[in-house]
Amino acid sequence: MTSTHSAGSAHILRLLWMLISAVLALMTIFPLVWMLVIAFKPAPEVFAPNFLPVSPTLGNFLYVLTEVPFLRYLANSFFMSATVTIVALFFHSMAGYALARLHFPGRDFIFLAMFSTFLVSLPVIIVPLFILVKALGLINTYAGLIVPSIFNAFGIFLLRQYYLSLPRELEEAAIMDGAGRWRIYWSIVLPLSRPILAALAILFFLANWNAFLWPLTVASDTNLWVVQVAIVNFKSQYAGAWNYVMAASTIVALPMLVLFVIFQRQITESIKTSGLK
């Protein structure tokens, strides 16, 4: 892909490229490494200039895990994010498919109306939304955490784009066979959507895992807390104890980082090949 003139200079270029990439990448993860390092430092070393802990300890993690039910909060976050992701992808792919492939009066208007909600972010509508959710009786419930987070024009938009690009022939054959739209969707379109659904699943899961403002507002019951709310609360309780706060932060970040390391190839590939662009 790059043009080089001789094998020798290609080799040097490659080394240079590796070096630059490595340095930039290390700089990028430096803050995360720093978090990890402090999480293993005993309290007096937190602001000490030494990079690695002199006397590393697991005490911070043990303390955090025994003091605060982080596992419960992790479970809540996982449940909320997974449910939103699955339901949202299902709804969005249905809507995206219809908007891309089916013909019905008002379709363009519906798409435009949906697309325009893309611009409305939560802080702008949080009070009316809260009033509505309360009217539905969903305050302090899992449904209250989950349902309002499902609907999102961005996902519909991307899926519509994807379906516009799918070859029609497969469907046409099914139509000739007299298959209904639902069957076409369920047994042909949905399986074909796997790459983009995988990519969007990751984005949706991440976005919901990281959501803070809505879970905070809708759930007062500590049993419904998600990790992001718990970590902010933890920070304000242990403001001075950075070693604990960083240990807690690590516990919150770890599941995502581990997932990413395991599925890294799939994640990047699916985002790349999904036509998500």
Q: List the interface residues with other proteins, window 110-149 (CB under 8 A).
A: 110-132, 134-137, 139, 143, 147-148
Nearer to other proteins, 60 or 249 (CB): 249
Contact between 142 and 79 under an 8 Å Cβ cutoff? The reply is yes
- When binding is defined by CB under 8 A, the residue of 153, 200, 224, 247 that contacts other proteins is 153
Torsion (CA) 39, 27, 16, 263 in degrees, nearest 10: 60
- Residue 91 binds to other proteins (criterion: CB under 8 A): yes
In the complex, the smallest distance separating the C-beta of residue 225 from other proteins, rounded to whole angstroms, is 9
Contact between 230 and 73 under an 8 Å Cβ cutoff? The reply is yes
What DSSP designation does 103 have? -
What DSSP designation does 186 have? I
Nearer to other proteins, 58 or 90 (CB): 90
In the complex, the smallest distance separating the C-beta of residue 221 from other proteins, rounded to whole angstroms, is 7
Nearer to other proteins, 8 or 240 (CB): 240
- Residue 220 binds to other proteins (criterion: CB under 8 A): yes
Residues of this chain, 234-273, that bind other proteins according to CB under 8 A: 234-242, 245-246, 249, 252-253, 256-257, 259-261, 264-265, 267-268, 271-273
Q: Which two tokens stand for residue 107?
A: 């379709």
Nearer to other proteins, 12 or 239 (CB): 239
Residue showing tokens 């990448």:
25
Contact between 102 and 181 under an 8 Å Cβ cutoff? The reply is yes
- Residue 204 binds to other proteins (criterion: CB under 8 A): no
The separation between CA 153 and the C-alpha centre of its own chain, rounded to angstroms, equals 16
Residue of 11, 14, 10, 34 whose CA lies nearest to 22? 14
Residues of this chain, 45-64, that bind other proteins according to CB under 8 A: 46-47, 49
Q: How many CB atoms lie within 10 A of CB 75?
A: 13
Residues contacting 212, CB < 8 A, separation 6+: 228, 229, 232
- Residue 227 binds to other proteins (criterion: CB under 8 A): yes
- When binding is defined by CB under 8 A, the residue of 98, 145, 198, 224 that contacts other proteins is 98
- When binding is defined by CB under 8 A, the residue of 76, 81, 193, 228 that contacts other proteins is 228
